A and B are shown apart, each in its own frame.
Chain A
Amino acid sequence: MRKKTFKLLLISLLAISMFLVGCNSKTNEKAGSNDNNNESSPIKDTLVYGRGGDSTSLDPISTTEGETFKVTENIFETLLEYGDQDTTVNPGLAEKWTVSDDGLNYTFNLRQGVKFHDGTDFNADAVVFNFDRWMNGNADSFPYYSMFGGYKGEEGHVIKEVKAADEYTVQFVLSRPQAPFLKNLAMSPFGIASPTAVEKYGDKFRENPVGTGPFKFVSWKQNDTITLEKNPDYWQKGLPKLNKVIYRVIPENTARLNSLTIGEIDIMDGLNNSDEATVLGNDNLQIIERPSMNVGYIGLTTTRKPFDNKLVRQAINHAIDKKSIIDAFYGGKADPAVNPMPSSIEGYNDAIEPYPYDLEKAKALLKEAGFEKGFEIDLWAMPVARPYMPEAQKVAEVIQESLSKIGVKANIQTVEWATYLDKAAKGEFDMFMLGWTGDNGDPDNFLYTLLDKDSIGSNNYSHYSNDELHDVLIQAQTETEQAKRNDLYKKAQEIIHDDAPWVPLVHSTPLLAAAKDVVNYLPHPTGSEALTKVEFK
Chain B
Amino acid sequence: MAELAKNTENIPLISTEEKLIPPWKEAWFSFSKNRLAIVGLGIVIFFIILAIIAPYIAPYSFKDQVLAERMQAPSSKHWFGTDDFGRDIFSRVIYGARISLWVGFFSVLGSVVFGTILGIVAGYYGSWVDAIISRIFDILLAFPSILLAISIVAILGPSLQNALIAIAIINVPNFGRLVRSKVLSIKQEEYIMAARAVGMKDARILFRHILPNSISPVIVQATLAIATAIIEAAALGFLGMGAQAPTPEWGKMLADSRNYITQAPWTLIFPGLAIMLTVLGFNLMGDGLRDALDPKMKQ
Contact = CB atoms under 8 A, between A and B. Distances in A.
A522 interface: no
A472 interface: no
A328 B259 contact: no
B78 interface: no
Interface stretch (A235-243, A282-290, A351-359, A392-400): A392-400
A404 B65 CA distance: 12
Contact of B67 (A6, A327, A400): A327
Nearest to A258: B262
Interface of A: 2, 5-6, 252-254, 272, 274, 278, 321, 324-325, 327-328, 394, 396-398, 400-401, 404, 411-412, 414
Contacts of B240: 414
A400 B246 contact: yes
B68 interface: yes
Q: On chain B, which size bracket covers the interface? A: 20 to 34
A253 B258 CA distance: 11
Given A327-B68, A328-B70, A398 B85 contact: yes
A400 B67 CA distance: 14
Interface in B240-290: 240, 244-246, 256, 258-260, 262-263
Contact of B244 (A325, A328, A412): A412
A252 B240 CA distance: 14
A325 B259 contact: no
Contact of A253 (B67, B86, B259): B259
Contacts, number: 48
A324 B68 contact: yes
Contacts of A324: 67-68
Nearest to A410: B245
Q: Is the interface of B mostly helix, strand, loop or mixed?
A: loop
A46 to B, nearest CB: 28
Contacts of A400: 245-246
A404 B245 CA distance: 12
B109 interface: no
A269 to B, nearest CB: 16
A252 B34 CA distance: 46
A522 B84 CA distance: 32
Given A398-B67, A398-B85, A401-B64, 16 more contacts: A2-B34, A2-B35, A253-B259, A254-B258, A254-B259, A324-B67, A327-B67, A328-B84, A394-B85, A394-B256, A396-B245, A397-B65, A400-B245, A401-B63, A412-B245, A414-B240
B36 interface: yes
Contacts of A253: 259
Contact of B262 (A278, A321, A327, A396): A278
Nearest to A6: B36
Given A6-B36, A328-B70, A411-B244, A401 B263 contact: no
B246 A397 contact: yes
Interface in B66-107: 67-68, 70, 84-86
